[in-house]
Amino acid sequence: MPKTRRPDTNLKLRSETEKWLSKLEEKMQGAELVKGWLESRVLQNAMDNVNAYVRDCRHFLEKRDYFNAFEAIIYAYGIWETLERMNLLTKK
Percent of the chain whose pLDDT exceeds 70 = 91
How far, in whole angstroms, is CA 22 from its chain's centroid? 9
Residue ranges making up the domain that contains 72: 7-91
Residue 11 in any domain: the answer is yes
- Check residue 91 and give left, alpha or beta (phi > 0: left; psi -120 to 50: alpha): beta
Residue 2 in any domain: the answer is no
Write out pLDDT tens, residues 65-86. Answer: 999 999 999 999 999 999 999 9
Q: How many domains, in total, are found in the chain?
A: 1
Residue 1 in any domain: the answer is no
Residue 75 in any domain: the answer is yes
CATH code at 67? 1.20.1270.90
Q: Model pTM?
A: 0.83
List, in order, residues 6 or more apart from 90 with CB less than 8 Å away.
31, 32, 33, 34
Write out pLDDT tens, residues 32-46. Answer: 888 776 678 888 899
Report the 3 state secondary structure along 33-73.
Answer: ECCCCCCHHHHHHHHHHHHHHHHHHHHHHHCCCHHHHHHHH
Residue 24 in any domain: the answer is yes
Residue 39 in any domain: the answer is yes
Residue 23 in any domain: the answer is yes
